[in-house]
Amino acid sequence: MNKSLRGVSLIAAIMFLALLVNATFNYGFRSKGLNDDPSNLRVTDSQFNTDRGSILASNTPIAQSVAVSGNRFSTQRTYSNGALYAPVTGFYSYIYGRTGLEQSYNSQLSGQDDSQFFSRMIDEATGKNPQGATVQTTINPAVQQAASDALGGRTGAVVAYDYTTGAILGWVTSPSYDPSQLSSVDLPATQTAWQNLVGDPSNPMSDRATQQIYPPGSTFKLVVASAALENGKSAASTVSSPVTLPLPNTNRVLPNAVNCGGSTSTIDHALTVSCNTAFANLGMELGADKIRAQADKFGFESPFTGDFTSATSTFPAQLDASQLAMSSIGQYDVSATPLQMAVVAGALANDGNLMQPYVVSEVRDRNLNVLTKHDPQSRGNAVSKETAASMQNMMVHVVQSGTGTATQIAGQTIGGKTGTAENLPGASDYSWFAGFDKEHHVALSVFLANPNQAGSATGNATVAAKRVFQAVQS
C-alpha cells in the first residue's frame, strides 16, 4: 500500500470511529434528553408503540399501557380510576404532551433513562420489545379515596403525608378529570376532550393541592405563633385581644368571629379559639421580618421540588402596620398551597424537623431490579424541639376544646388549626384545616373553596379532615 493510500485509509478509519462514538454517545447518553423533548415526533410515534411502564399505588396500576389494534398505534395509555389519581399521574397524550409523573419520570417509563442503557442494548440484541420501568408511588389508595369522598365533589384539595419521611399518602383535587380522555389513540376524540376540559369554567385540570395558592386564613396563625415562641414568648404569654381592633391608619375595624374572653389572652387560648385581634396584635408586635423568616423556614418563598415541583407559597414584602395585622391572620397577600400548610403542621408534629415531600418511592425495571430508590431527606429544622412541643400542645387544645372539635377521634392524639379565609366579595369564605395524627405520623391539609357548595352535606374542612384521619387508622 503506497503512502497516499495509507493516508486515505487512516482518515476513513478515523471518520468511521468518530461516527461510531457519536452514535454511541447519542444512543447511550443523549437519549433521555431527546426522548423527553415533546417536539420530537419521531420519538412520540415510537413511544406510543412501546410497552410504557406502569405507575403504581400500593402495587396496583393506576396508569398502564394496553394493546390496541386497528390504527397505527399498538398500545394506548389507560388510567384506572383516572380522576382520582390525575393530579399524581398527570396525562400522556400524543397531541398535548405529558404532565405529572408521566412527564417527570418519562425517561424511565419509556425505557430510555441512562440507568436502562444496558437493558436496552440486551433487548435489542435479543429481539425483545422495549419495555419501560415501573414507577411505585407512596400513595395509599384508602387515604386517596377517603380524601376524595371527604371533599364530596366540592371545589378543593387534600394533601396527607407521613411527616417523619415526607411520603405523600393522599393527593386529591376536586373537580378533576380522567386522563384517559387525553391519551386516546382516537386523536379527533382527544382534541374534543381537550377543548371541553380547557373550556370548563370549573378548571378540572387545575391541581389545587400543589399548583394553586390561596389565602390560608387562620391556619397561618401556626406560623405566627411559632415565630412568637422562637423569639422568646411562650404559650402562656399574654397579648391584647379586644373584641374589635381598629386597623392602623385605616377606617377598617378587625372583628373576631368569637369572643376572645377579655382584654388579653394567652397565645395558647388565642390559638385555641382563633382570636383574630390577638394574632393581629401579636404580628404587629413581632414585626414582619420575624414572621417572614419563620414562614421561610416552613417553606414559604421556595417551591417544593423533587419528583414534582409545587407552586411557591408567599408572605408579602413591604407591609405597613394594617397590612401586617391582616397578614398575621393569613389574609392580605399571604398565599399558600394546601401542600404548604400540611408541611407546616407536619414539621411541628415532627419536633420541628421539616421533611421534603415526595410521591415516588422507587423505580424498578422489568426484572424487578431497583433502578432508583428514594431516601427521605430533611430540609432542616423549622423550629426548635421546645417550640414544636409547645405548638403540638396548643394544636391539640384546638381540637379538644376550640374551633377544631369536629376532628376529634376517640383514643387518638389529633392536633390542628382551623382556618377561614375571605374570598372575593359575594363569594363564600374558604375553609381550611391543617393538622396531625400523632400516633400514625400523618399530617394533612384540607382546603375547601366553597364548603357550602350546593348539594353538599359533608361539613367543613374539619369534618373532611376527620374522615381522612380515620382512613389512615383503618
pLDDT at 28: 47
pLDDT at 88 over 70: yes
pLDDT at 258: 76
Domain boundaries, the chain: 7-31, 217-359+369-473
Higher per-residue pLDDT: 330 or 44: 330
pLDDT at 457: 39
Per-residue cell: 448: 375547601
Q: What is the mean pLDDT of the chain?
A: 89
- Tell me the pLDDT band of 455, cut-offs 50, 70 and 90: very low
Query: For residue 74, how far is the Cα from the chain centroid?
Result: 34
pLDDT at 41 over 50: no
pLDDT at 24: 52
Q: Which residues of 367-393 are buried (b: 16+ CB within 10 A; e: fewer)?
A: eeeebbebeeeebebbbeeebbebbbe
The vertex-365 CA angle with 46 and 25, nearest 5°, equals 55
What percent of the chain stands above pLDDT 90? 75
Mean pLDDT calculated for residue range 450-455: 64
pLDDT at 47: 72
Secondary structure in 3-state letters for the chain: CCHHHHHHHHHHHHHHHHHHHHHHHHHHCCHHHHHCCCCCHHHHHHHCCCECCCEEECCEEEEEEEECCCCCCCEEEEECCHHHHHHHHCCEECCCEECHHHHHCHHHHCCCCHHHHHHHHHHHHHCCCCECCEEEECCCHHHHHHHHHHHCCCCEEEEEEECCCCEEEEEEEECCCCCHHHHCCCHHHHHHHHHHHHCCCCCCCCCCCCCCCECCHHHHHHHHHHHHHHCCCCCCCEEECCCEEECCCCCCEEECCCCCCCCEEEHHHHHHHCCHHHHHHHHHHHCHHHHHHHHHHHCCCCCCCCCCCCCCCECCCCCCHHHHHHHCCCCCCCEECHHHHHHHHHHHHCCCEEECCECEEEEECCCCCEEEECCCCEEEECCCHHHHHHHHHHHHHHHHHCCCHHHCCCCCCEEEEEEEECCCCCCCCEEEEEEEECCCCEEEEEEECCCCCCCCCCCCHHHHHHHHHHHHHC
pLDDT at 33: 54
What percent of the chain stands above pLDDT 70? 85
pLDDT at 103 over 50: yes
Nearest Cα residue to 75 out of 32, 35, 132: 132
pLDDT at 343: 99
Report CA-CA distances (Å) from 33 to 26, 41, 169, 419.
Answer: 10, 14, 30, 44
pLDDT at 26: 52
pLDDT at 21: 52
Amino acid at 185: V
pLDDT at 429: 85
- Tell me the pLDDT band of 74, cut-offs 50, 70 and 90: confident
Nearest Cα residue to 11 out of 19, 27, 23: 19
Query: pTM surpassing 0.75?
Result: yes
pLDDT at 69: 82
pLDDT at 118 over 70: no
Q: Which CATH architecture has domain 217-359+369-473?
A: 3-Layer(aba) Sandwich (3.40)
pLDDT at 7 over 80: no
Gyration radius of the chain over CA positions: 26
Beta bridge partners of residue 430, listed in sequence order: 421
Catalytic residue check, 431: no
Mean pLDDT calculated for residue range 239-265: 89
pLDDT at 224 over 50: yes
What burial class does residue 362 get, using C-beta atoms within 10 Å of its C-beta: 0-12 exposed, 13-18 middle, 19+ buried?
middle
Mean pLDDT calculated for residue range 116-126: 66
Residues 225/271, Cβ–Cβ less than 8 Å: yes
Residues 157/135, Cβ–Cβ less than 8 Å: no
Higher per-residue pLDDT: 72 or 401: 401
pLDDT at 456 over 50: no
- Tell me the pLDDT band of 254, cut-offs 50, 70 and 90: very high
pLDDT at 29 over 70: no
Span 266-319, pLDDT tens digits: 999 999 999 999 999 999 999 999 999 999 999 999 999 999 999 999 999 999
Span 356-386, pLDDT tens digits: 999 999 999 988 899 999 999 999 999 999 9
- CB contact set of 80 (below 8 Å; sequence gap of 6+): 60, 61, 62, 63, 64
Higher per-residue pLDDT: 29 or 465: 465
Mean pLDDT calculated for residue range 390-394: 99
Higher per-residue pLDDT: 25 or 284: 284
Higher per-residue pLDDT: 194 or 458: 194
Q: Can you tell me the distance from the alpha carbon of 267 to that of 78, in angstroms, rounded to the nearest whole number?
A: 52
pLDDT at 102 over 70: yes
- Tell me the pLDDT band of 388, cut-offs 50, 70 and 90: very high
pLDDT at 458 over 50: no
Mean pLDDT calculated for residue range 167-173: 99
Mean pLDDT calculated for residue range 179-205: 96
Lowest-confidence segment of 52-66, 313-327, 458-472 by average pLDDT? 458-472
Q: Can you tell me the distance from the alpha carbon of 49 to that of 40, in angstroms, rounded to the nearest whole number?
A: 15
Give the other-Cβ count within 10 Å of 445's Cβ: 32
Higher per-residue pLDDT: 22 or 459: 459
pLDDT at 259: 73
- Tell me the pLDDT band of 421, cut-offs 50, 70 and 90: confident
- Tell me the pLDDT band of 115, cut-offs 50, 70 and 90: confident
Of the residues 180, 218, 265, 328, only one is catalytic, namely: 218
